[in-house]
Amino acid sequence: MKSSASGKIILFGEHAAVYSRPALAVPVTQIHVDVEVLDSPRQGIWIDAPGIDLHAELNSLPDNHPVGSVILKVFSTLGLPSPTGRRAGDEGGLDISIASTIPVAAGLGSGAAVSVALIRALASHLSNPLSDEQVNNLAFEIEKLHHGTPSGIDNTVITYQKPVYFIKDKPLETFKVGKPFTIVIGDTGIPAPTKESVGDVRRLRMRDLCNVENIFNEIAQIALIGRRSIESAKPEQLGELMDQNHAYLQALTVSSPELDNLVEAARKAGALGAKLSGSGRGGNMIALVDQPKAESVAGALIAAGAKRTIITEIS
């Protein structure tokens, strides 16, 4: 059984989304995780994930391992006996292969994509395919294990593969793109420490509640206006909103010199606007560009130190 899940970028609302403000996120189909689950002549559950240098049997993994956690969650959800502690002669040997083109810890949803693709492939192989809602809920449980208090936006947009207007604990809203637009993604090459960044924003909010809440409210307005701009076929309005959102994320201390440098380089190269995307302090930034300028903006990002770029059309 095979399953794939694409990456994602957050257009607006990161960090504020943790505190029940809206955020916008869209799939990035150029990058994806592919999972295949096969019956195996070997006993046990064997995992081969060369991208993270993982070649092991499930029982050998630590209790909180991301991939192992997903497998155990699927078995538990389906009401099946735990796959750990299998003995020689037990039935049900599996080979699981995981391949990914999504950079790890870069704000592109790598972890959530692995969870979503693995949940779908494993549940289907076990003859119990899950609904999108079940997949999303399971993937969110895994996100909480590894990111502390995540917003839930990564697993949601990756599960549903549509542009998402997301408010924590509210019904999911997908929306349509009135007119395609082009985004250039620039990767700093620095792992984004999501758990640390989310925790620091939480502590900042505790020290300066009024100011941080005001910032969250401003970011919420940006996300709302951004959605309206996309739906009404006016994506050029997103550039100024990106610049504003980046300034607020700087105030929340989650940018970095490397991200600020790439944002500035994109603007100087003709981008309509730019901001960090994701938890910050590493990972990616995004720039809104007129399609003919996409290659030149991508080149400027590489010249400014980006380790890689992705040009994606949101439609």
Reported as a single tens digit per residue, the pLDDT across 9-18 is 999 999 999 9
The boundaries of every CATH 3.30.230.10 domain in the chain are 2-166
pTM for the model stands at 0.81
* pLDDT higher than threshold 80 for residue 147: no
Confirm or reject CATH 3.30.230.10 for domain 2-166, answering yes or no: yes
Catalytic residue list contains 154: yes
The span from the CA of 280 to the CA of 256, in Å, is: 7
Q: What is the pLDDT of residues 209-252, one digit of tens each?
A: 999 999 999 999 999 999 999 999 999 999 999 999 999 999 99
Query: Do 10 and 24 form a contact (C-beta atoms < 8 A)?
Result: yes
The predicted-structure confidence for 257-270, as pLDDT tens digits, reads as follows 999 999 999 999 99
Mean pLDDT of 63-74: 90
Q: How far is CA 246 from CA 46, 131, 256, in A?
A: 43, 36, 11
- The whole-angstrom separation of Cα 276 and Cα 281 is 9
Catalytic residue among 90, 154, 243, 290: 154
> What's the DSSP call for residue 53?
T
* Topology at the third CATH level for domain 177-314: Alpha-Beta Plaits (3.30.70)
Give the DSSP letter of residue 235. Answer: G
Residues of the chain with CATH 3.30.70.890: 177-314
